[in-house]
Amino acid sequence: MSRYRSKLWGSIILCFSFLTFVPIHTHANPALPIVKDTGLITIEVFPQRHRLLVYMDHIPYKSFPVAVGNPSTPTPVGEYIVTYKGKNWGPSFGSRWIGLNVPWGVYGIHGTNKPFSIGQHASHGCIRMRNRDVEELYEIIPVGTKVTIFGHVLGEASQELRSISEGDVGAVVQLVQNRLQSAGYFNGPCDGRFRHSTTNALKKFQRQNGLIPSGVVTLTVYEKLGLLE
């Protein structure tokens, strides 16, 4: 599968492998004011390192250990916004819920009743934190905070790239929709939901590229769309 390494393109795909981080603040500084301007507080999540970083005015402020999605239900890569903050959603979500505007599902940053899972790929796609950590984060960030989740949309190099078809959801679907739209085959919303309109656009693309119009995104289709080399 080495020849199927994915291209890095656009702002959706963010490579984390070359980044290193040494937190400046290992503990919260009570003298540092809570910045209310949502543009001055940002969050970065590095799934492979199981770390969540908080920046204040572009300066690293706090680093937390997290659990992220497992290989079959990965944490969605990309840039999102905090749209909701709530308390006590239920035992599985711990003491706080911080919702993100992922278009194809309900994803967020939350606490857990399984603190032993922190530091692992153990969730269904959400970002888990220890309850005391998510409570601290909850007080720091306002609704509107930008959250960047690093990684590669098509998965890590060690993962087998799977075929997708109608009924699938996720960042890979959104990526395919964007490519089909850019090529003039798809005029629907690039929302990461593989519906009938995406199937029709894909079949048209397959016909015009000499492929069987199966409506399934295979390795050959990924290559034809320019997503693999």
Is it the case that residue 2 has pLDDT exceeding 50?
A: no
So what's the pLDDT on residue 139? 96
Q: Which of 25, 27, 121, 126 is catalytic?
A: 126
Is it the case that residue 213 has pLDDT exceeding 60?
A: yes
What distance in Å separates the CA atoms of residue 10 and residue 213, rounded to the nearest whole number? 27
Topology of the domain covering 17-149: L,D-transpeptidase catalytic domain-like (2.40.440)
Residue 129's identity, in one-letter code, is M
Residue 228's identity, in one-letter code, is L
Q: What is the mean pLDDT of residues 160-173?
A: 89
Q: Which of 50, 110, 152, 190 is catalytic?
A: 110
Local structure of residue 175 (DSSP, 8 states): H
How high does pLDDT run on average in the chain?
A: 82
3-state secondary structure at position 227: coil
Residue 111 near residue 131, CB atoms below 8 Å:
yes
What distance in Å separates the CA atoms of residue 27 and residue 124, rounded to the nearest whole number? 29
User: Element (H or E) spanning 107, and its range?
Assistant: strand 107-110
Q: Where are the domains of the chain?
A: 17-149, 171-224
So what's the pLDDT on residue 88? 85
220 vs 152 pLDDT, higher one:
220
Residue 75 near residue 69, CB atoms below 8 Å:
yes
What distance in Å separates the CA atoms of residue 90 and residue 111, rounded to the nearest whole number? 10
> pLDDT (tens digit, 9 = 90+) per residue, 69-122?
988 888 998 899 999 999 988 888 999 999 999 999 899 999 999 999 999 999
Question: Length of the chain, please?
Answer: 229
Q: What is the mean pLDDT of residues 138-159?
A: 83
So what's the pLDDT on residue 158? 52
Longest dimension (CA), the chain: 64
So what's the pLDDT on residue 156? 63
> Would you call 190 a catalytic residue per the annotation?
no
Minimum mean pLDDT range among 47-56, 84-93, 155-164, 197-206: 155-164
Neighbours of 91 (CB within 10 A): 11
So what's the pLDDT on residue 54? 98
So what's the pLDDT on residue 38? 53
* Cα-based angle 178, 179, 182 (whole degrees, multiple of 5): 85
Report pTM: 0.71
